[in-house]
Structure 1
Amino acid sequence: MAGSIAISVEGGIARLVLTNPERRNAISSGMWRALSAFATEAAGRADIRMAVLRGEGELAFSGGADISDFDAARSDASGAQSYDDLVEAACAALEALSFPTLALLRGACVGAGAALAASCDMRIAADDAFFAIPAARLGLGYDPRGLPRILRVFGSHGARQLFFTAERLDVHRAHEMGAVDLIAPAAEVEAAAERTIQRIAENAPLTLKAAKLAIRAAESGAGSLLAEARRATTLANASADYREGRRAFAEKRAPRFSGS
């Protein structure tokens, strides 16, 4: 089956590349499974401080789910449910990661690709990027489990625009909605994204974890997440990194955080 996820980890940063350029990095069933597998494994790794997702090449983050899968994997209602389960499992697993995630967007970010980008904590985009959710052009029902992440990122107005018109949403309009954190010219977006990536990766991992949990708790209203965020905050306040941060501030130098 076409497509793969290229994964590398260096300097505390996991980099995931959607690799299916012949289909504008469309995401196959195997690629959804690989994303879930990465999230499961990464959840137990102390050497990863953040993850970055991008598409191979310059034309697309992702053109969406790989339609060539559909005749075999999504030919009827039962198959559609199983396929939606794959997509939801991968997106939910990425959202649940304890460290920050960032999507670097170039060109098309369509359908399931938009859902994947919305599963990340941040989005940095080239000025040629655009979003679209063409479900209404295909006649398929969009999994309701995925709606909260689209609403969270694009807002209710943006979600209606994406679903009802099935037309492209320009990256500048998406930025106005708050769906994109930073736009840069296509020739400069790699450098702009890397500055943000390195800045995040240099920060205290336990603080980032506590902050992400607190944000998720506030967005969802889940009491279990709030309790988890409180525990994570207590751990950060008792950590060696907090002591290192205080020393570095007093000594007017950059802190060296270990994640402990």
Structure 2
Amino acid sequence: MANLAAEILVKTVEGIATVTLNRPAKRNAVSLAMWSRLAEIFSDFGRQDGPRAAILTGAGGHFCAGADISEFPTVRANAAMGKIYEEAADAATRAVRDCPVPTIAAISGYAMGGGCGLALACDFRIGDASARMGIPAARLGIVYGPLDCSLLLRQVGLSNAKRILFSGRAFDVEDCRQLGLLDMVSEQGSALEAAHAFASDLSKNAPLSLAGAKLVLEALSSGTAEGRAGEIETAIARAMDSEDYREGASAFTEKRSPRFLGR
């Protein structure tokens, strides 16, 4: 049985969690068990004493080659098994998307298929010169579901989404930047180094403000703001009543950097 603790590494330093897919021999292809573990990890980041930001990356020079196709004959052999598999993969994707702390995909090498989907679920995607992204579903006889397609569509637009899905090819870093698959490209150093620098800047801001902004923006983007009005109002009120709100005002008056605690 695979050792999940070794295949997905989690390390938190100075409030920044780095989640590393660690199957370099398979370009970090994600197994069914790993999808379930990813859902647990990113859901857990929402606790009050959790990290201020989270980075998702891969070991051995690649982000993620996608789902581990070698196990499909045993875990995804027919429509019924495929539904169970997709539910696990979607749960992981939603956990990344809905994580209340800022999430950053640090992309070196290949981010293909399900790996590209995980990157799209993050708030930001930072690549380096080696980045290659794409969704080869059309070359595997697979139809992408609504969740993954919605993430792709909101990131790159309809025409580019069709280009990515219809072609099934891997796009180089410049194409990824032009298509919108990457938000930032590290001109010097690795994607992971750039992601850590970016996460460090974000982690200095008020956690309740960041979580609230993410909630509102995601609700507006998905057209669910009206139905989530109560949740949004609660987030606004919680921030207004927080110690961090008072600390921010004091720091501004005293012309010093604020020290936010997330409460």
- Choose from 37, 40, 43 the match for 1:40: 43
Q: Distance in 1 between matches of 2:45 and 2:257?
A: 27
Q: Which amino acid aligns with 2:170?
A: R
- State the 1:181 CA deviation: 1.8
More RCO (CA 8 Å, sep 6+) = 2
Describe the SS at the equivalent of 2:11.
strand
Q: 1:256 aligns with which of 250, 253, 259?
A: 259
Amino acid paired to 2:91: A
Is the CA contact (8 Å cut-off) linking 2:65 and 2:110 kept in structure 1? yes
1:1-41 Cα offsets, whole Å, 9 max, x none, are: 55621112232222100011001111111110110111232
Tell me the amino acid that sits aligned with residue 30 of structure 2.
I
Flag the 1:224–1:44 CA change in 2: closer, same or farther, 3 A: farther
Match of residue 210 from structure 1: 212
Q: Which moved more, 1:15-24 or 1:142-151?
A: 142-151
Percent identity over paired residues: 37
Q: What are the superposed Cα offsets for residues 93-121 of structure 1, whole Å, 9 maximum, x if unpaired?
A: 22111111111000101000000001101
Q: Is the 8 A contact 1:99 1:205 kept in 2?
A: yes
Distance 2:124 2:229 in 1: 21
Using the alignment, how far apart are the partners of 2:132 and 2:64 within structure 1? 11
Q: In structure 1, how many angstroms separate the alpha carbons of the residues matched to 2:231 and 2:177?
A: 31
247-256 vs 112-121, greater mean Cα deviation: 247-256
Higher mean Cα deviation, 216-225 or 22-31? 216-225
Superposition TM-score, scaled by structure 2 size: 0.92
Which stretch has the larger CA shift, 132-141 or 203-212?
Answer: 132-141
Q: Show CA shifts across 1:180-227 (max 9, x none).
A: 221013634333222211011111001001100011111011123343
Are 2:217 and 1:225 equivalent residues in the alignment?
no
TM-score by length of 1: 0.93
Q: Do 1:210 and 1:230's aligned partners in 2 also have CA atoms closer than 8 Å?
A: no
The two structures, once aligned, show a CA RMSD in angstroms of 1.7
Q: Secondary structure at the match of 2:228?
A: helix
- Give unpaired runs (5+ residues) of structure 2: none
Task: List aligned pairs for 1:96-175, cutoff 5 A.
Answer: 96-175=98-177
What displacement does 1:163 show? 0.8
Contact 1:106 1:186 in 2 (8 A): no
Are the aligned partners of 1:73 and 1:83 in contact in 2 as well (CA < 8 Å)? Answer: yes
